[in-house]
Amino acid sequence: MRYTPNHDIRHYILRNLDNNGSDRLPFVLGTSLADKEANRLEQERKENQRKPSPSLRYDSSVEIIGESKEQCVQFFKRVSGIQRTLGYAGTIRVQGQEPRVGAGALWENYGHIGIVRAIEGDMIVVDDSNWIKGKVTRHRLSIDQLRGFIYN
């Protein structure tokens, strides 16, 4: 079967891309036009498969209250005064399930931490950094959205 550089190459590339998300094409393209087209299609495929960032998942329960270039753990340590090493937020060991003002709130499904600022009935007000890149945000969360707390 004969493939032309402009039309048929796209179908050939799409049929021959690894289905497991591999970065490699299973064949070598010979022309720069084909290379550019393959790279563009591969990038487009990756973008379409990408899991939405947590920063894209915010609604009226999230309020931008400032700016910060700190990661969430750095921000939490600075505002809480905790001196000990915490590591990555996703690996921090939970110390308890009781919310307290000043405690670290660990998100359930993300490696993320914020500081509890207030408890309003069954909702917890948490400030954090980098949920939205470069911003300090305030969340109103139910306890079900958190995996637990760490205390100073």
106-132 pLDDT, tens digit per residue, is 998 889 999 999 999 889 999 999 999
Helix ranges (H only) for the chain are 8-16, 32-49, 72-80
Supply the pLDDT for residue 129.
Answer: 95
At residue 3 the predicted structure's pLDDT band, cuts being 50, 70 and 90, is: very low
The per-residue pLDDT of the chain, averaged, comes to 79
0.95 exceeded by the pTM? Answer: no
CB burial string 68-103: b at 16+ within 10 A, e below:
bebebbebbbebbebeeebeebeebeeeeeebeeeb
Q: Where in the chain is the domain with CATH 3.90.1720.10?
A: 54-150
What is the Cα–Cα distance from 34 to 13, expressed in whole angstroms?
Answer: 9
Topology, domain 54-150: endopeptidase fold (from Nostoc punctiforme) (3.90.1720)
Q: What is the pLDDT of residue 130?
A: 92
